[in-house]
């Protein structure tokens, strides 16, 4: 086990420490059990970091087990994406990936065992009738007319269900527990239903599939899981978890513990809502960089380390709360501020013509790749008579607070010379397209010799060597902190969550991938190369801006 002082602590780790100290367990075994009906999101990352992190810290093991009990909604594409996400985050599961479907034969046998013990029965009631007879939180449920069917008949009917002799919805197998229980999950829950669907692992072998609450606890027991960690919505279901284990002939008795799920501002983490975003084309697929999926965050430029750090910072508690999006963004800023090399890109270009610079001349300037880390080295950048600058970095007139280029004023081009703007050229709409200036040839790497003070510095790219590029400026997908609370959450989609610009970038940056996967484009934010890039035109995604533009004024 890792040294205690090097590990975070929370109530789950305290339970584990106590279990090890008492000798209840000699080794720790956890599991991560996603359902392969969609891509994993940042909330799943919290569970991944918890389950795999505990296994690592206690020198235990963690299984990856797919909860594949609903083949109608599952797909091998989701299976593969989940494996990729877990590995990308830096975790390794114990042995081969497991599937609940690996245990279908055993699960079926345990269902038969419950029938034989008089603890399960086949119910032919329609779903609507069953729902009405369940009662409410204030009123007990009513017994099904099929509840007291004899064991032999139930065994025969379950065999017919298994053989495919009944249609979907025609009947189901229910556990016989207590229709008067104050916990709804204990009012004779369905544990098997008829489903005629092809399964991505077992093919067409089965016509009946077990429910999650029946499957999960038995799978944990089969695998010898010591601590089954779930989110708080499964808290009441722990009673059913324990009931199933106690009433079948299985040796292992794992325990379930619940922690609060992640609620993150300006997004939705309900898989149902994420599916709706994808299917209704509000986003461009599961890996759209505006999505809170791990695939989307990866494509946007988030690093595994930043996500793991975020999960560490938010901690593990039983308290439900809303986490600020700024906390996630701070984690990637902290990571990239240290690890991302600097470069220059112009997203909204106007041309700067240096009239006293020799025509046809080019020179190579040297720029540091990181202002605070000499180990990142330097890079060569071209410089010639014409460069591109940001349109917002020039004004014909401005007050003293504007520290960039103004007519008749001087500014330094980053890592280059001091220039002075003299005149402009505009298009028919009155927009400045070209600024004509002069440069001081004695100011490369030093201040003007006559003591002139030049406070402003702007970035630029050499027009002769720069590469045309597309820049996708991603922002928060929703414009309200809690879109799930809206009557129609899609009405809260931020219309400015994606802005596309055509501009210029230092030559050769995209060719550095995968050696360099992210850059800070000076003053513009942190960017990564998107997989839509081509050799002729790179596409850069903005991961995050240099500062939080959503922060309230005055904070």
| Peptide bond preceding 514 in cis form (omega within 30 of 0) | yes
Is residue 182 a contact partner of residue 134, using CB atoms and an 8 Å limit?
no
Is 555 one of the catalytic residues?
Answer: no
Q: Give the number of C-alpha atoms closer than 13 A to the C-alpha of residue 478, restricted to the C-beta side.
A: 24
Is 167 one of the catalytic residues?
Answer: no
CA distance 332 to 479: 21
* Of 29, 176, 271, 342, catalytic: 271
Return the beta strands (E) in 223-375 as ranges.
227-231, 255-259, 263-264, 322-323, 342-343, 345-346, 349-354, 362-368
DSSP 484-516: GGSSSGGGGB-TTSEEEEEEEE-TTSGGGTTT-
Instruction: Tell me the H-state helices in 268-399.
Output: 271-279, 294-300, 304-314, 325-339
Residue 430: partners with Cβ closer than 8 Å, 6 or more residues away = none
By CB atoms closer than 10 A (0-12, 13-18, 19+), residue 56 is middle
Is residue 188 a contact partner of residue 177, using CB atoms and an 8 Å limit?
yes
Helix (H, G, I), strand (E, B) or coil at 253: coil
Q: What is the dihedral of CA 111, 115, 118, 123, to 10 degrees?
A: 100
Q: What is the dihedral of CA 83, 110, 259, 68, to 10 degrees?
A: 30
Q: What is the dihedral of CA 136, 141, 145, 148, to 10 degrees?
A: 150
DSSP 449-479: TT------EE--EETTT-EEEEEEEE--SBS
Q: How many helices (H) and strands (E) does the chain have?
A: 12, 29
* Of 35, 84, 324, 386, catalytic: 35
Is 261 one of the catalytic residues?
Answer: yes
Helix (H, G, I), strand (E, B) or coil at 405: strand
CA distance 208 to 17: 41
Q: What is the DSSP letter of 313?
A: H
* Of 73, 83, 134, 261, catalytic: 261
Pairing of strands 498-505, 467-474: antiparallel
Q: Which sequence positions are flagged as catalytic?
A: 35, 261, 271
């Amino acid at each position: 086990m890792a040294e205690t002082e090097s590990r975070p602590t929370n109530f789950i780790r305290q339970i584990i420490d106590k279990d090890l100290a008492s000798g209840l367990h000699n080794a720790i075994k956890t599991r991560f059990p996603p359902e392969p009906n969609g891509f994993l999101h940042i909330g799943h990352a919290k569970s991944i970091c918890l389950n795999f992190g505990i296994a690592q810290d206690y020198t235990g093991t963690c299984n990856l087990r797919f909860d594949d009990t609903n083949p109608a909604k599952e797909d091998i594409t989701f299976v593969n994406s989940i494996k990729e996400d877990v590995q990308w985050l830096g975790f390794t599961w114990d042995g081969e990936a497991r599937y609940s479907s690996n245990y279908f034969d055993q699960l079926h046998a345990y269902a038969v065992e419950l029938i034989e013990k008089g603890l399960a029965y086949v119910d032919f009631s329609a779903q609507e009738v069953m729902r009405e007879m369940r009662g409410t939180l204030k009123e007990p449920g009513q017994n099904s007319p099929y509840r007291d069917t004899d064991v032999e008949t139930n065994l025969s009917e379950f065999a017919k269900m298994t053989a495919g002799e009944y249609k979907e919805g025609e009947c189901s197998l229910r556990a016989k527990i207590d229709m008067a229980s104050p916990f709804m999950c204990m009012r004779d829950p369905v544990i098997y239903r008829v489903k005629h669907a092809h399964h991505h692992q077992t093919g067409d072998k089965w016509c009946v599939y077990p429910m999650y609450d029946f499957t999960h606890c038995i799978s944990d027991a089969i695998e010898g899981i010591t601590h089954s960690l779930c989110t708080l919505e499964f808290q009441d279901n722990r009673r059913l978890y324990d009931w199933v284990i106690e009433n079948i002939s299985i040796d292992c008795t794992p325990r379930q513990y619940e922690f609060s799920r992640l609620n993150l501002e300006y997004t939705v983490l309900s898989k149902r809502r994420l599916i709706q975003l994808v299917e209704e084309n509000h986003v461009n697929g599961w890996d759209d960089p505006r999505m809170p999926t791990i695939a989307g965050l990866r494509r946007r430029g988030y690093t595994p380390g930043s996500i793991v750090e975020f999960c560490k910072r938010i901690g593990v508690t039983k308290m439900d709360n809303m986490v600020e999006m700024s906390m996630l963004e701070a984690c990637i800023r902290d990571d990239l501020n240290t690890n991302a090399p600097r470069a220059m890109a112009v997203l909204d270009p106007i041309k700067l013509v240096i009239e006293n610079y020799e025509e046809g001349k080019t020179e190579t300037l040297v720029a540091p790749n990181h202002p605070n880390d000499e180990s990142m080295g330097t890079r060569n950048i071209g410089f010639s008579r014409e460069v591109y600058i940001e349109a917002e970095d020039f004004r014909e007139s401005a007050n003293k607070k504007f520290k960039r280029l103004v007519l008749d004023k001087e500014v330094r081009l980053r890592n280059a010379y001091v220039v002075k703007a003299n005149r402009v050229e505009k298009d028919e709409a009155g927009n400045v397209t070209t600024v004509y200036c002069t440069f001081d040839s004695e100011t490369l790497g030093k201040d003007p010799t006559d003591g002139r003070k030049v406070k402003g510095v702007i970035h630029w790219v050499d027009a002769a060597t720069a590469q045309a590029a597309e820049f996708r400026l991603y922002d928060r997908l929703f414009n309200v902190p809690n879109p799930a609370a809206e009557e129609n959450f899609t009405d809260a989609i931020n219309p400015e969550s994606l802005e596309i610009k055509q501009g210029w970038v230092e030559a050769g940056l995209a060719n550095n991938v995968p050696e360099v996967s992210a850059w800070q484009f000076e003053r513009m934010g942190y960017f990564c190369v998107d997989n839509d890039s081509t050799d002729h035109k790179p596409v850069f995604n903005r991961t995050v801006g240099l500062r939080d533009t959503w922060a309230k004024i005055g904070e």
